Structure 1
Amino acid sequence: MFEKAPLFTDIAEGPKGGVASWVETEDGLRVRIGCWDDPAAKGTVLLFPGRTEYIEKYGRTAKDFAALGLSTLAIDWRGQGLADRILRDRLIGHVDHFTDYQRDVRAMLRYAEARRLPKPWFILGHSMGGCIALRAVMEGAPVSGVMFTAPMWGIQLTPLLRPVAWTVSWAAKMVSLGHLIAPSTSRKPYPEVAPFLGNLLTTDAETYDYMKKQTRVEPDLALGGPSLHWLNQALRETNALASMPSPKLPCLTFLGTLESIVDSDAVHRRMGHWDDGQLVMQEGGQHEVLMETPEIRADVMRLIGEFTSELIPA
C-alpha cells in the first residue's frame, strides 16, 4: 500500500525491524514515515520531531520506548529529512504555511491506521514538533495522551529583537525575499558548526557526536537555518495557539532548566493552565532532554513510562 523508503539503520541505532515508507500528503507532497513496531507492544508513540530533524535521530529513543512496551512512529516533515524540500536550496528550512504541517500529521495518522499500530496512541512533540502537536491535539488527533519536550510555543527572543524579527520577516515576505535564510543562522546543521562546548542542545558529548555523525554519513538528511518566511509563519502560529485553550487531554511536558532555544515563559504559561497537565523541570537539561546524559534520559523515560502506563487499559 505504501512505497518503501530508505531507513538508515546503521546511524539510527534503533530497535531491530525498523521500516520506512513514502506517504503522499493531501496536497501532493511526499513525506517519509519511519516505524519501529512490535506486535506485542501495549501502545504507540507518534513522534513529532523538531525543525531540522529526521527519523534516524530518534532511533535510540525508539529503543527506549520499546523497553517500555511501546512502538514508535516518526516522520520527516515537509522541507526536511528525506521528505520533499520546498525550496530550490534544500539546506534552508521552509514551509509555505505553518498549518501545512497538519497535512503531514493527517498523512501520518492515515499510515498508523493502515498499519494497525497498537493502541492507545500517544503523541510526543519536540520543539517545533511540539508546536505542530499542540495544534494537532487541539484539532482532535485520536490519541489518549500527549507529551512534549521543549515545545516551541514561543521562540526565545530578547524584548529588543522580537519586534525586529517580526518586522524583518514580514518585510521579506512583502518584497518576495522570504526564501532567504534568517540572519545569524547557517546553511549547515547546527552540530556541524557549533562545537560541543557551549552548544545549546545537550550536555552529553557522546550524544552530540551521534547527531553530528548522522548528517556527516548521510548528508541528504542535513538542514540548516530557517527561511525568513518560516520565521514569520512560526511567530504567527505560536501567537495564534497562545490564545487557544488547552485540550482536555492528559499531558506531560519536559523543559530543561538550561533551555535557551524556545520561550520557557510560554511553556510555563501554557502548562500553568492545563487542567490534566504536568510540567517537569529537568535539572541540568538543555534543549534535547531525550538526548541528554544517561541519568537525565533515564529519568525522562521513567516518567514517560509511568505516564503512558496509567493510560493503557489493564
Structure 2
Amino acid sequence: MYITGYFSGFDGVRLFYRGWIPQEPRGFLILIHGAGEHSGRYSHIGEICMEHQLGLLAPDLRGFGKSGGPRGHVNHFTDYLADLGKLIEAFQIQYHSAPLFIFGHSLGGLIAIRYGQIYPQKAKGFILSSPALEIRFPLPPLLKKTLEFCSWISPNLSIQPFKWMEILKKIRRLNHYFPEPDVEIIEDPLFTFEYTPRWLTELLHNGIYALLDTSKFRFPILCLYDQQDPIVHPDSILRFLDSISIQDKKYVMFEEGLHRHWHANHCEHAIENVMTWLTPRL
C-alpha cells in the first residue's frame, strides 16, 4: 500500500511524508533524504521494500519538498531530530512490534547519526549513505566567519550555492570537483536549490559534533559511501566508523566519483547490500 499525508512537526509545521507499507511488515525503515531532495526521489526503494515485506516511511524534511518552512532553512539542527521523533512516535503506535531501522543519505545520514547519539534505543540499527560529516573541501576561514556572521544577523537570508559553483568552476584546478547537476534534478519542481547561512552553519557544526560524540553511537550500522565523492569527505566517514565501539558495523565502498549512488548505475548493488544486511537483523 502506497500512502501520502502530512504530520505536525515539533512546532506545528506541516511536514509531508510518503509510505510504502505491506500488509504484515517484518520491519520498518525511516528514510531521510539528502539536501535539496525530497521523498519522491526514493520511490523505487519504497517499492523494493514492499517486495521484501518491509515498510518504508520517507518524510520531506522541513524546508524541502512538499513540507512547510522556509526553503533550505532550519533554526537549529535539533529541529530535524525533533521532527523525526514525532514521525517515529506516530507510526510506532500502530506498528510497535516491527523493528525500526533509520536510513539516511548525506544530510539525512548526518541527521540519523545525531538522532542515534541524542535519542538512544529508538531504533534497532542504522543505514548510512554518504553521511555529511564533513564537506570534501574545507571552507576558507574568512568565508566561515562570514557565514557565521550572516547566520547571526540574517539567518533566513537565501543563498544559491549552485551559482557559487559556476564561479568556482572557472578555476581550472577546481573544475572537476563541481560536476554538473543531473538534468532530472534541474527539471524536478520539488528539488530545492536555495539554502540559508543558518542551515549551512548548523550542518557544519553538527558534522563536528557527530565526530566528537562517537562514543554515544552504539547501534548496528551499515554504511555505503564513495571514495571519490565530490561533496562529502570519505576520510570523515572512515574516522566515524573507526571510532564507534560497536563491533556490528559494515561498510561498502564505491569508487565511481558519485554522491547520489541511489540514482546511479550501481543502485541495484547498493540496494542488494541493504537487503542482505537487514535480513538477519529483522
**TM-score, normalised by the number of residues in structure 1:** 0.78
1:173 aligns with 2:151: yes
1:109 Cα deviation (Å)?
A: 0.4
1:250 aligns with 2:220: yes
1:52 aligns with 2:36: yes
Matched AA of 2:154: L
Cα deviation 1:184-230 (Å, max 9, x = unaligned): 4349xxxxxxxxxx7367xxxxxx555455x2xxx3x2311321111
Query: Within 5 A, what are the aligned runs for 1:259-270?
Result: 259-270=229-240
Q: 3-state SS of the aligned residue for 1:83? A: coil
1:141 Cα deviation (Å)?
A: 5.0
Q: 1:123·1:143 contact (CA, 8 Å) conserved in 2?
A: yes
1:301 aligns with 2:271: yes
1:21 aligns with 2:5: yes
1:310 Cα deviation (Å)?
A: 1.3
Cross-structure match for 2:191: 222
1:113 Cα deviation (Å)?
A: 1.5
Matched AA of 1:136: Y
Cα deviation 1:60-100 (Å, max 9, x = unaligned): 111222233321100011111111122xxx4xx11111111
1:114 Cα deviation (Å)?
A: 3.5
C-alpha separation in 1, matches of 2:192 and 2:111? 19
Q: 1:289 aligns with which of 261, 264, 267?
A: 261
Q: Percent identity?
A: 23
Q: For structure 1, which runs of at least 5 residues remain unmatched after alignment?
A: 1-16, 188-197, 202-207
Cross-structure match for 1:241: 210
Q: 2:160·2:193 contact (CA, 8 Å) conserved in 1?
A: no
Query: Within 5 A, what are the aligned runs for 1:1-314?
Result: 17-86=1-70, 90=71, 93-116=72-95, 119-138=98-117, 139-158=119-138, 161-174=139-152, 176-182=153-159, 184-186=161-163, 199=179, 208=182, 210-213=184-187, 215=188, 219=189, 221-246=190-215, 247-274=217-244, 275=246, 276-284=248-256, 286-293=258-265, 296-312=266-282
Matched AA of 1:289: H
1:179 Cα deviation (Å)?
A: 2.4
Deviates more, 1:279-288 or 1:119-128: 279-288
Cα deviation 1:85-136 (Å, max 9, x = unaligned): 22xxx4xx11111111111111210222134276111111100011110011
Cross-structure match for 2:167: none
Q: 1:169·1:178 contact (CA, 8 Å) conserved in 2?
A: no
Question: Aligned pairs, how many?
Answer: 265
C-alpha separation in 1, matches of 2:81 and 2:210? 14
Q: 1:281 to 1:209 in 2, by over 3 A?
A: same
Q: 1:95 to 1:292 in 2, by over 3 A?
A: same
Q: 1:258 to 1:183 in 2, by over 3 A?
A: same
Q: CA RMSD in A?
A: 2.2
C-alpha separation in 1, matches of 2:258 and 2:278? 24
Matched AA of 2:212: S
C-alpha separation in 2, matches of 1:311 and 1:200? 39
Q: For structure 2, which runs of at least 5 residues remain unmatched after alignment?
A: 165-177
Cα deviation 1:165-200 (Å, max 9, x = unaligned): 4211112134x233223464349xxxxxxxxxx736
Q: 1:47 to 1:141 in 2, by over 3 A?
A: farther
